Amino acid sequence: MKIAVYPGSFDPFTNGHENIIERSVKVFDQVIVAVAHNTTKKTIFTVEERVEILNEVFKNRDDVKVDYFEGLLVEYIKKMGTNVVLRGMRTVSDFEFEMQMALANKTLSSELETVFMVTDSEFSHISSSVIKEVVSLNGSASHMVPEIVEKRLREKLLRS
Residues in contact with ligand PNS by CB under 6 A are: 7-9, 36, 72-73, 101, 104-105
Nearer to ligand PNS, 87 or 152 (CB): 87
Closest separation in Å from C-beta 160 to ligand PNS: 26
| 90 part of the active site | yes
Nearer to ligand PNS, 20 or 134 (CB): 20
Q: Which of 50, 87, 90, 152 is catalytic?
A: 90
Q: Which of 17, 50, 87, 152 is catalytic?
A: 17
Nearer to ligand PNS, 9 or 55 (CB): 9
Closest separation in Å from C-beta 122 to ligand PNS: 20
Q: Which of 26, 41, 59, 159 is catalytic?
A: 41
**Taking a C-beta distance cutoff of 8 angstroms, is the pair 119, 14 a contact?**
no
Nearer to ligand PNS, 101 or 115 (CB): 101
**Taking a C-beta distance cutoff of 8 angstroms, is the pair 31, 138 a contact?**
no
| 128 part of the active site | yes
3-state secondary structure the chain: CCEEEEEECCCCCCHHHHHHHHHHCCCCCEEEEEEECCCCCCCCCCHHHHHHHHHHHCCCCCCEEEEEECCCHHHHHHHCCCCEEEEEECCHHHHHHHHHHHHHHHHHCCCCEEEEEECCHHHCCCCHHHHHHHHHCCCCCCCCCCHHHHHHHHHHHCCC
Closest separation in Å from C-beta 100 to ligand PNS: 7
Catalytic positions: 17, 41, 90, 128
